[in-house]
Amino acid sequence: MTATTRTARWTPEAIADLHGRTAFITGGNSGIGLETARVLAVHGARVILAGRNQDKLDEAVAEIRKVQPDARLDTAVVDLGSLASIRTATARVAETETIDLLFNNAGVMNVPERRTTSDGFELTFGTNHLGHFALTAGLMPALRRSRAARIVTVSAIAATWRSGRLADLMSERSYGAMTAYAKSKRANVAFTQELARRLTGTTVEAVVVHPGSAVTNLQRHSEGPLARAFVAIASRLLLGSPEGAAWPSLYAGTSPDVRSGQFIGPAGRDQTSGTPRPVALPDGAGDPAEGAFLWAESERLTGVRFDL
């Protein structure tokens, strides 16, 4: 069977037994991250659900245990908007754990006004990209202990928007809620391209995905009760489920057909749902110059260095 036909027929049932493998998932308490955690746990993986609120993480663990009572689950409190929180969480994990699969999945979208993280970064870019940049660097010792590790970063189709070009990263000159989101999602792609280049020849691979679209808590920042009601109704009519939206992450994390550096998305013509497969990178996002620029800026802003 060729890689193409395997991809065409891929469903989560194709996932091999994952006993002995450990996955770390940011945003594991909600939406796509929770669904990713559930499916990996059902296939035998030990899953570390990472989130910023222990109560929400405990609820997520209870929810997964409803379908898989013997699921091997742990939690890690980490706020991606705080470099101190990331340092504390990753130091503990990096000391003892082996991580085979890292899902940089957490994210915020459509934050109405410019806000900042506790380190002063614009909130959307700071959480979605810089937080994951620092987290990935902190988890490298745990990833290197794996015989074959994969880092899956969850981007979005917004990465292809022209407004997402990587300039004014902190949105200091002008702020637009979805422009900040598009920049952060483009950064997820460019980060993965640069990481994959830097990881060449190691046992760690880096892949980026876009999940299509799904009704999750991501739409919660819409302004005002009317807008929120409109978004809630429109979302339910137009968007898919977190179950389907987790397929690109699950495929990217577990399929032997996936290669480092690939961008994985749904195959449907509307690009919102369907079997996951490699899709074209956003224009210029594979350019080494863009990757080098983003890497240098991320190091400068966070003070974090990768030990690859």
The reply to whether 138 sits near ligand NAP by the rule CB under 6 A is no
Binding-site member from 27, 266, 278, 286 for ligand NAP (CB under 6 A) = 27
Two tokens at 160? 């292809």
Taken in order 153, 196, 118, 83, the sign of the CA dihedral is positive
The reply to whether 30 sits near ligand NAP by the rule CB under 6 A is yes
Binding-site member from 90, 179, 193, 216 for ligand NAP (CB under 6 A) = 216
Cβ neighbours of residue 254 closer than 8 Å, sequence gap 6 or more: 15, 16, 18, 40, 43, 101
The reply to whether 51 sits near ligand NAP by the rule CB under 6 A is yes
The reply to whether 217 sits near ligand NAP by the rule CB under 6 A is yes
Binding-site member from 101, 156, 166, 190 for ligand NAP (CB under 6 A) = 156
Question: Rounded CA gap, 70 and 165, in Å?
Answer: 45
The reply to whether 189 sits near ligand NAP by the rule CB under 6 A is no
Q: Got the DSSP string for the chain? A: --HHHHHHT--GGGPPP-TT-EEEEETTTSHHHHHHHHHHHHTT-EEEEEES-HHHHHHHHHHHHHH-TT-EEEEEE--TT-HHHHHHHHHHHHHH---SEEEE-------SS--B-TTS-BHHHIIIIIIHHHHHHHHHHHHHTSSSEEEEEE--GGGGSGGG-SSSTT--S---HHHHHHHHHHHHHHHHHHHHHHTTTSSEEEEEE----B-SGGGGG-SHHHHHHHHHHHHHHH-B-HHHHTHHHHHHHH-TT--TT-EEEE-STTSSSSSEEE-PPPTTTT-HHHHHHHHHHHHHHH------
The reply to whether 179 sits near ligand NAP by the rule CB under 6 A is no
| Catalytic positions, written as ranges | 181
Nearest distance from residue 29's CB to ligand NAP, in Å? 5
Q: Given the complex with ligand NAP, which of 29 and 136 has the nearer CB atom?
A: 29
The reply to whether 68 sits near ligand NAP by the rule CB under 6 A is no
The reply to whether 154 sits near ligand NAP by the rule CB under 6 A is yes
The reply to whether 31 sits near ligand NAP by the rule CB under 6 A is yes
The reply to whether 130 sits near ligand NAP by the rule CB under 6 A is no
The reply to whether 127 sits near ligand NAP by the rule CB under 6 A is yes
The reply to whether 141 sits near ligand NAP by the rule CB under 6 A is no
Question: Rounded CA gap, 45 and 283, in Å?
Answer: 35
Residues 230-249 that bind ligand NAP (CB under 6 A): 239, 245
Q: Given the complex with ligand NAP, which of 136 and 146 has the nearer CB atom?
A: 136
> Residues 252, 234: contact at Cβ < 8 Å?
no
Between 79 and 118, how does the x/- string for binding to ligand NAP read (CB under 6 A)?
A: xxx-----------------------xxxxx---------
Question: Which position's Cβ is nearest ligand NAP?
Answer: 31
Residues 247-306 that bind ligand NAP (CB under 6 A): none
Q: Given the complex with ligand NAP, which of 79 and 194 has the nearer CB atom?
A: 79
Nearest distance from residue 202's CB to ligand NAP, in Å? 25
- Among the residue ranges 162-170, 209-217, 226-234, 263-271, the one whose residues contact ligand NAP (CB under 6 A): 209-217
- Report the interface residues with ligand NAP, using CB under 6 A: 26-27, 29-33, 51-53, 56, 79-81, 105-109, 127, 154, 156, 210-211, 213-214, 216-218, 239, 245
